[in-house]
């Protein structure tokens, strides 16, 4: 039957059409990945469950909000197999005669199962709350998706003991990411960064004691949920009202791939989601956000940016969470200096705390340790009645964060060959310090001085434009293709989210590619 269907409907394009969707699945029936109408719809049509495309010929069985025109970017609220997508052919969700609900990949292996058993008849239904429920004819609930959240809680869906929300890897990759919302052993609801090599709690503020954070450790029921009015509350006494508290809106609580926990709301399925509450207002506080050996800067317009420390380079130019790696191994040389970075702090990973050590003694401690990349030093009168210095010697540089409010200085160990001129942090991402107005499509026309300045600045960094004897001759004597590339970069800089800007290395690669082919093969999408 499945094979016949497959032959009959070979190349249907995905679209979340509602035409012949069923309202429940019974024993012996299946939802087939090829059949785009094999969907479960909640009674009033708020939610849809079915196979959702997550990549090239890759599908996950998911629940999402019904929204107009959301073909492959609908708001997913639950996934069965986020870390193991199935093939676009011969994959199915089947309710077996035994009562077990299974997801099979390409007609062969079972990638997911509810492991339920029932002698009597069973029904799989998507309720109006967004809960996918498997019940028997006695009305007992055998399994429900609300008990196995992925990255989102829906209205009145509790986060309970031993459950957690886990972020997606990125906005476009639905696999499990590094951020979690869970109750820890102290009965307190926490946000946790958990990469393969590092785990650290970052909410509530780890520098506060539990009671200072207005939480309680005494209620071990461990439950958190949000109510219809927009009050998110938890058994550890945490609660917070949404900005639109009281309104009868659609809502969802999601741990986003950037590690922030946000309550979203909207009046209607045709509206865009707005953030009505978030756990963290200063995104650089989120651990792991820029990876090791880098510094997070707070940028009012876009939230944050990341940059590598001097002497370090990005490990993977497409992924900041991997951070930066040293350009030169420091222990291969005994000749080191310390570069002072003002208002910079690296949270945690102290090898030791040395009270009342002078700067020179602190330097000495770090110099003598091969594994010491630097130290935090404070010599401030504020909050320091004895006027004694503090020296925190680090063994790893994580959670780097620059803020004018920090009185600390950080001293970075650098090879003696690196100049100590005062440029605190090496910027490795495209720098759009000069504000750019939209350029004309015609790349030879440069309408504004600011743009010109930017291009000159940019060119001097990349070394892409030939200058006549730094009078820069930008009006005439330049390579049109290179200029086109530069203008393209400038436009990217002006138009896009700052976090998605190309890095210097990518820009250089683009230019090198041009040189290799010596043709107009490098194209930017210029609006
Ligand atoms: C994807 O979602 C965004 C915002 O949610 C929306 O603006 C855009 O139109 C959607 N794209 C498609 C192809 O539906
Ligand atoms: C299964 O649950 C649904 C929704 O709660 C309900 O409508 C249905 O009657 C239940 N089935 C049985 C057999 O109890
Ligand atoms: C999504 O992320 C996972 C985990 O990091 C990775 O293994 C997978 O290759 C990624 N998928 C895509 C399409 O990039
Ligand atoms: C939100 O919920 C908490 C816990 O149930 C409660 O103490 C608080 O009063 C509620 N706030 C509002 C505005 O309803
Ligand atoms: C513990 O939290 C639950 C909510 O999860 C609440 O119903 C109960 O009253 C709380 N117990 C105490 C002693 O505060
Ligand atoms: C990051 O933000 C800081 C603070 O606004 C700014 O000084 C710096 O130039 C930015 N760096 C990059 C690479 O955009
Ligand atoms: C550094 O190493 C060089 C040669 O490797 C040696 O001559 C010099 O004495 C060393 N300096 C210190 C301070 O250990
Ligand atoms: C700090 O060290 C100095 C000498 O280096 C000493 O005079 C002073 O009493 C010390 N202060 C404290 C608070 O230990
Ligand atoms: C460019 O800037 C100079 C000096 O700032 C000014 O005199 C000139 O008019 C500007 N040109 C344009 C096109 O804005």
Ligand 6 neighbours (beta carbon < 6 A)? 297, 299, 305, 307, 427, 429, 431, 433
Considering only CA atoms, which residue is closest to atom 12 of ligand 4? 231
Window from 48-62, 72-86, 473-487 with minimum mean pLDDT: 473-487
Tell whether the model's pLDDT for residue 428 goes beyond 90. Answer: no
Q: pLDDT tens-digit profile of 217-246?
A: 999 999 999 999 999 999 999 999 999 999
- Residue 26 β-bridge partners: 123
Considering only CA atoms, which residue is closest to atom 11 of ligand 3? 173
> What number of other Cβ atoms are within 10 A of residue 396's Cβ?
17
Domain 156-281 has CATH 2.90.10: yes
The domain limits of the chain are 22-147, 156-281, 294-415, 449-520
CATH superfamily of 22-147: Bulb-type lectin domain (2.90.10.10)
Window from 302-306, 408-412, 462-466 with minimum mean pLDDT: 462-466
Residue 444 CA to ligand 1 center (angstroms) comes to 33
Tell whether the model's pLDDT for residue 439 goes beyond 70. Answer: no
Tell whether the model's pLDDT for residue 427 goes beyond 80. Answer: no
Can you name the CATH fold of 294-415?
A: Hepatocyte Growth Factor (3.50.4)
Does 388 sit in the ligand 8 pocket, CB within 6 Å? yes
Tell whether the model's pLDDT for residue 435 goes beyond 90. Answer: no
CA 443 distance to own-chain centroid: 35
Q: Which ligand has an atom closest to residue 82 CA?
A: 3
Considering only CA atoms, which residue is closest to atom 9 of ligand 5? 235
**Residue 517 confidence class, pLDDT cut points 50, 70, 90:** very low
Whether 22-147 shares its CATH topology with 156-281 is answered yes
- Determine the pLDDT at residue 21: 56
Does 71 sit in the ligand 1 pocket, CB within 6 Å? yes
Q: Where are the beta strands (DSSP E) in 73-188?
A: 76-79, 86-87, 92-95, 101-105, 109-113, 122-126, 132-136, 141-144, 152-153, 159-160, 164-168, 176-183
Residue 296 CA to ligand 2 center (angstroms) comes to 51
- Determine the pLDDT at residue 355: 84
Q: pLDDT tens-digit profile of 246-277?
A: 999 999 999 999 999 999 999 999 999 999 99
**Residue 486 confidence class, pLDDT cut points 50, 70, 90:** low
Tell whether the model's pLDDT for residue 176 goes beyond 80. Answer: yes
- Determine the pLDDT at residue 103: 97
Report the alpha-carbon distance of residue 460 to residue 106 in Å, rounded: 54
Ligand 2 neighbours (beta carbon < 6 A)? 123, 125, 135, 137, 139
Report the alpha-carbon distance of residue 220 to residue 79 in Å, rounded: 28
Portion of the chain with pLDDT greater than 90, in percent: 50
Q: pLDDT tens-digit profile of 152-167?
A: 999 999 999 999 999 9
Within a 13 Å sphere around the CA of 274, how many CA atoms are in the beta-carbon half? 11
Mutational pocket test of ligand 3: of 169, 178, 196, 318, the residue with most ligand atoms within 8 Å of the beta carbon: 169
Does 26 sit in the ligand 8 pocket, CB within 6 Å? no
Q: Which residues of 191-227 are buried (b: 16+ CB within 10 A; e: fewer)?
A: bbbbbeebebbbbbeeeeeeeebebbeeeeebbbbbe
User: What is the pTM (predicted TM-score) of this model?
Assistant: 0.74
């Amino acid at each position: 039957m499945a094979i016949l269907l497959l032959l009959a409907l070979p190349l249907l394009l995905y679209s979340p059409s509602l035409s012949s969707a069923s309202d429940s699945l019974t024993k012996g029936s299946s939802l087939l990945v090829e059949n785009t109408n094999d969907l479960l719809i909640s009674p009033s049509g708020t939610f849809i469950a079915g196979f959702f495309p997550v990549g090239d010929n890759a599908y996950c069985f998911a629940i999402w909000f019904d929204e107009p025109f959301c073909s492959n970017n609908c708001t997913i609220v639950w996934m069965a197999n986020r870390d193991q997508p199935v093939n676009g052919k011969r994959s199915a969700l089947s309710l077996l005669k035994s009562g077990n609900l299974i997801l099979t990949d390409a007609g062969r292996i079972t990638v997911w199962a509810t492991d339920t058993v029932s002698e009597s008849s069973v029904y799989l239904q998507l309720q109006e709350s967004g809960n996918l429920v498997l019940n028997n004819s006695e009305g007992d609930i055998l399994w429900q998706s609300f008990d196995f959240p992925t990255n989102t809680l829906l209205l009145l869906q509790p986060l309970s003991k031993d459950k957690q929300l886990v972020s997606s890897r990125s906005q476009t990759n639905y696999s499990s990411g590094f951020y979690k919302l869970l109750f820890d052993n102290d009965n307190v609801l926490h946000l946790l960064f958990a990469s393969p090599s590092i785990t650290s709690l970052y909410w509530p503020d780890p520098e506060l004691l539990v009671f200072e954070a207005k939480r309680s450790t005494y209620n071990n029921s461990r439950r958190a949920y949000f109510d219809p009015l927009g009050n998110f509350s938890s058994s550890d006494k945490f609660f917070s009202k949404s900005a639109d508290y009281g309104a009868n809106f659609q809502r969802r609580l999601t741990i986003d791939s950037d590690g922030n926990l946000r309550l979203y709301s909207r009046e209607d399925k045709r509206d865009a989601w707005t953030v009505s509450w978030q756990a963290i207002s200063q995104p650089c506080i989120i651990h792991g956000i820029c990876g090791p050996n880098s510094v997070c800067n707070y940028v009012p317009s876009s939230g944050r940016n990341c940059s590598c420390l001097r002497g370090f380079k990005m490990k993977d130019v497409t992924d900041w969470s991997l951070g930066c790696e040293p350009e030169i191994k420091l222990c291969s040389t005994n000749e080191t200096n310390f570069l002072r970075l003002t208002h910079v702090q690296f949270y945690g990973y102290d090898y030791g705390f040395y009270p009342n050590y002078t700067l020179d003694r602190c330097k000495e401690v770090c110099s003598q340790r091969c594994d010491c990349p630097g130290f935090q030093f404070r010599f401030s009168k504020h909050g320091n009645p004895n006027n004694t210095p503090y020296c925190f010697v680090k063994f790893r540089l994580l959670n780097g964060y620059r803020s004018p409010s920090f009185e600390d200085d950080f001293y970075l160990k650098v090879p003696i060959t690196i100049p100590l001129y005062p440029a605190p942090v090496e910027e490795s991402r495209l720098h759009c310090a000069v504000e750019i107005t939209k350029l004309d499509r015609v790349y030879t026309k440069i309408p504004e001085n600011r743009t010109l300045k930017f291009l000159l600045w940019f060119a001097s960094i990349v070394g892409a434009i030939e200058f006549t004897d730094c009078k820069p001759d930008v009006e005439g004597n330049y390579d049109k293709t290179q200029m086109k590339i530069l203008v393209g970069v400038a436009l990217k800089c002006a138009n896009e989210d700052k976090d998605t800007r190309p890095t210097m290395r990518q820009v250089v690669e683009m230019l090198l590619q041009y040189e290799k082919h010596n043709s107009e093969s490098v194209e930017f999408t210029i609006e």
